[in-house]
Amino acid sequence: MTKIKICGLYRPCDIDYVNEAAPDYCGFIIDFPESHRNVTPQQVRDLTRNLAPGIIPVGVLVDQPLEKAAELLQEGIIAAVQLHGREDEEYIAALRSRTAGKPIWKAFRIRGLSDLAAAAASAADQIILDNGGGSGQSFDWSLTAAINRPFFLAGGLNPGNLAAAIRQAKPIGVDLSSGVETDRCKDRQKILAAVTAARQMN
């Protein structure tokens, strides 16, 4: 079954939308002011109080101190962490040693086969193959034929191309953000359509 994650939630109504659509995961971009979707740990606490059971909250971090990532997991503010910066294998190992089996995800910007090799070798529990940088653009999905481990697909996905992306790349999950927005805000209808499209592929 293809999992689906709706990322970049930052308003109370965004929680309402995902509760209605019932994706597997939702994501929060924590302490990254460069993003208009930026939220603080306290905002994540407040937002997830109303999150439906069964939707797993994932914290997206970019080059944050190890102590902060560990604290977010240890305190249960997030259930999994998604690393989107220059975090290396040493960082992942150290974080794992402090967080007792909490899931660690790592995103990789895919431009060629060397990027896929790095992703395949990662010690992260889950890898995300992405175009990178929150550009809303996709990379060449045909490259995914060369990877030999399960992955989430991200970058440039929207309700209109989701089925084609799943058919071609065969990910175990998909991760959407800007593709379910209108005027930089989460769009209820697009979220519902994306989750429906992913579920129909199962």
Is residue 26 annotated as a catalytic residue, yes or no?
Answer: no
Q: Which DSSP state fits 165?
A: H
∠ at Cα 129 (86, 150), nearest 5°? 115
Q: Which of 7, 24, 26, 175 is catalytic?
A: 7
For this structure, is 63 an active site residue? no
Q: Which residue has the tokens 């290396």?
A: 88
The DSSP letter of residue 172 is S
Q: Is the dihedral of CA 69, 75, 77, 78 positive or negative?
A: positive
Residue 120 CA to residue 127 CA, distance in Å, equals: 8
Annotated active-site residue in 14, 130, 175, 187:
130
159, 177 Cβ separation under 8 angstroms: no
Catalytic amino acids?
7, 130
